Every structure is written in structure tokens, then in C-alpha cells.
Amino acid sequence: MYEQGVIRPPSEASSLLVRVTRNCPWNQCLFCPAYKGAKFSRRTVEEVKQDIDAMALEHGGGSRVTSVFLQDADSLLLPTEELVTILEYLNAKFPGIGRITTYARARTLKRKSVDDLRRLREAGLTRVHAGLESGSEKVLQLIKKGLTQEEIITGGRHVMDAGLELSEYIMPGIGGRALSEEHALETAKVLNRVRPDFIRVRTFAMHPKSPMQKMVHEGSFVPMTDEETVAEIRLLVDHLDEMRSYFSCNDFSLNLLMHVDGFLDEKKAFMLKELDLFLGLSKRQRQIYTLLQRSGYYRYPMDVVNDERVLKQVIPEIEKLEAEGDAAFDKYIDVLKSYQLPQPQTEEWN
């Protein structure tokens, strides 16, 4: 028997999950339900080693395991010496490992020296996943991220300077309509400073139990439509340098335009063209494409909006929604998006 946490990045779907901490030490972000109701704790090296032993036994010696993800939300909070011991033990038990990755908060990355991070790389750590969400100080405060722009930049640069791969997660729409432009521009500014290996797009959708629902009712937060979010992403991409960073939309189902994807130094012009193509559609065509994309797992090409067979099926459904009120279509899309969100560990989410 061994422990495992509740989440991991989509890119780690086939990785062995090794839990070195439990839950999240901050756990106050208003948008995130993953660890609500659960307390953070650190596991001992011996506890982790026992789990690794059990996993090695289960996997028949571990030669088939090629990637590992260290859970939970901020594994690098452990002392560097303890992490080095765990990494070396992992590599001894699983000689086929080619990649070891982990989540970490920017504040933790800032506190780790470049030398400490370099030691972790030498012991086997290859990539750090970090939730940037936004580069705007106003947005970071709004969502109670518990980080500053300076911490995000310094922490990110520590990772890059240590020779580790860095995957930064950004969240279009999280600033709402009022802060959309600032959110895009400040996030681009931070990413241009950090220059991470990966920029992973995680379009914001509000969980029904989110405390941000109260902000909506009070009028202090106005959620963005898919069209507005695409326009925000377009502004962001336009202000990103043509750097060797992979801008990734294709690994998250809440991203409307999943094909907007690629290295910025190679495909920035292509991505801007595809974003403009969607924004240049008529309102009805955007509704058709959005409803199709949000209703299932199949990904449609943009020209589906001109398919007469599809139009005959989809337009009557849109008209039914519009008959219920001016905002009924957008509300229905929000419901579809909320179905894809992770559930909090408990019903308590204050």
C-alpha cells in the first residue's frame, strides 16, 4: 500500500505518482478546489522510501517506469537534502527513469538557491510545474494567489538558471472583464522575463461552489465569455517575445482553440492568425463553434461553421437557448465548462 494525491499535470498521465507532501501549504486560491478541506503536511523520507519500495514491488523491479511525478502541490518545500535522498532512492529502485517532475510554488522556488536547485537536477529532477496564473499584481490579489510578480519572476529564473525545465501555467479569464487587458499584458511581461520552457494555457471556468460566485453576485467580478477570453489570449500572444517557449493549448479541454499551440519562435504568427480567424467569425458562427467544442470531446476544425448538415442540427439548439433570455447561451456554456472542473475534496469551500 502507498499514498497518492488527487491531481497531477495532464502531461504526467503515464507517470508514477510519488507523494512527498500532502495537499497544499497555501490552499487559499479562490479558483482552486483541489485541496479545500484538507490540511498540508510533509512526509518523512522513510515514509516516502516505503512507498517507493511498494511501488517497485508492484512494478516488478521498476525497469518499465520511465517517468515520475512528485506530489502534492509544493514538494520542493522539503529540505534539499531530503529531496536529494528521495531522488537518488527513486533512481536506484527504478533504473529506467528518464524524467522526474514536480509542482512548486514561486515563493518556494525563490527561497531555493540556484545551487540547491542545481543539486536537485543532478540528483534526477528534470522539470518544475508552477502555477503562475497571472502576472498582474491586481489579479494575484483578487484571486488570493499569495504571490507577487517579483516572486514569480525570481522563482522562475532560479529554475531556469539551475538548468531545470520550467512549465508555467497561465489562466486566461481569471481577472474577469475589468482586468482582462492588464491580466494579458502583465502576464506577457512576466513570461518574457522568465522565458520558461513551457507556457501551458488553463482557461478559467468557475466551479459552482467557488467563493468567487459571491463576487459575481455582488458585481465585483464579471466572468468573461469565450469570445472575450480568446481576445485576451490574442493580446497575450501578441505581446510575447518570439522565444523558444512552447505555448501549449492542446492538453486542456477547457481551452476553446486547442490547436493554438507551438513554439513561439516558430509559430507565433500562425497562432495569431488562428485566433484572428475565430474572432473574425460572425456572432452566430462563433456560437456554433463554441457549442460544438463545449458539448463533447471531439475537436472540430474551424470551417465546421460552414457545414450545412451541422448547421441544421446546431442552430435550432442555439435558438432555443436564446429564447430563454439574452445571456442564456453564455450561461449554458458556463455550465458545460464547470462540468469539466475537478471537485473539492470536501463540500466545505469557504
pLDDT tens sequence across 135-164: 999 999 999 999 999 999 999 999 999 999
- CATH value at residue 141: 3.80.30.20
pLDDT at 61 over 90: no
pLDDT at 126 over 80: yes
Asked, for residue 5, whether it belongs to a domain, the answer is no
Residue 342 has a pLDDT of 66
* Three-state secondary-structure class, residue 8: coil
Assign 34 a pLDDT band (cuts: 50, 70, 90). Answer: confident
Q: Cβ of 173: how many Cβ atoms within 10 Å?
A: 25
- State whether 277 and 288 are in the same domain: no
Above pLDDT 90, what percent of the chain? 83
| CA dist., res. 206 & res. 30, Å (int) | 10
170, containing H or E segment: strand 165-170
Residue-range definition of the domain harbouring residue 210: 10-283
- Residue 92 CA to chain centroid, in angstroms? 31
Asked, for residue 143, whether it belongs to a domain, the answer is yes
Candidates 98, 72, 70, 99; CA nearest to 86 is: 70
Average pLDDT of the residues in 37-60: 93
- State whether 236 and 90 are in the same domain: yes
For 210-260, what is each residue's pLDDT tens digit?
889 999 999 999 999 999 999 999 999 999 999 999 999 999 989 999 999
**Residues in a beta bridge with 17:** 69
- State whether 110 and 217 are in the same domain: yes
Cell digits of residue 319: 435558438
Query: Taking the model in full, what pTM does it have?
Result: 0.94
Above pLDDT 70, what percent of the chain? 96
What are the residues whose beta carbons fall under 8 Å from the beta carbon of 48, sequence distance 6 or more? 18, 19, 20, 86, 89
Give how many domains the chain has, as a whole number. 2
pLDDT at 350 over 60: no
Could you tell me if 37 and 345 are in contact, meaning their C-beta atoms sit under 8 angstroms apart?
yes
| CA dist., res. 41 & res. 18, Å (int) | 15
- The pair phi, psi for residue 308, each rounded to 5°, is -60, -35
| CA dist., res. 40 & res. 42, Å (int) | 7
- State whether 297 and 265 are in the same domain: no
Pick the last residue of a domain from 283, 305, 336.
Answer: 283
The residue type of 266 is E
Crossing angle (nearest 10°) for helices 149-161 and 114-123? 50
Asked, for residue 221, whether it belongs to a domain, the answer is yes
Residue with cell 507523494: 19
What are the residues whose beta carbons fall under 8 Å from the beta carbon of 188, sequence distance 6 or more? 135, 235, 236, 239, 240
- State whether 213 and 289 are in the same domain: no
Torsion of CA 288, 133, 185, 260, to 10 degrees: -40
Residue 344 has a pLDDT of 60
Asked, for residue 1, whether it belongs to a domain, the answer is no
Please state whether the peptide bond connecting residue 115 to the residue before it is cis, i.e. omega within 30 degrees of 0. no
Candidates 50, 103, 38; CA nearest to 77 is: 103
- State whether 341 and 196 are in the same domain: no
| CA dist., res. 143 & res. 221, Å (int) | 11
pLDDT at 347 over 70: no
Asked, for residue 325, whether it belongs to a domain, the answer is yes
- State whether 162 and 262 are in the same domain: yes
In this structure, what DSSP letter does residue 100 have? E
| CA dist., res. 134 & res. 140, Å (int) | 6
- State whether 249 and 290 are in the same domain: no
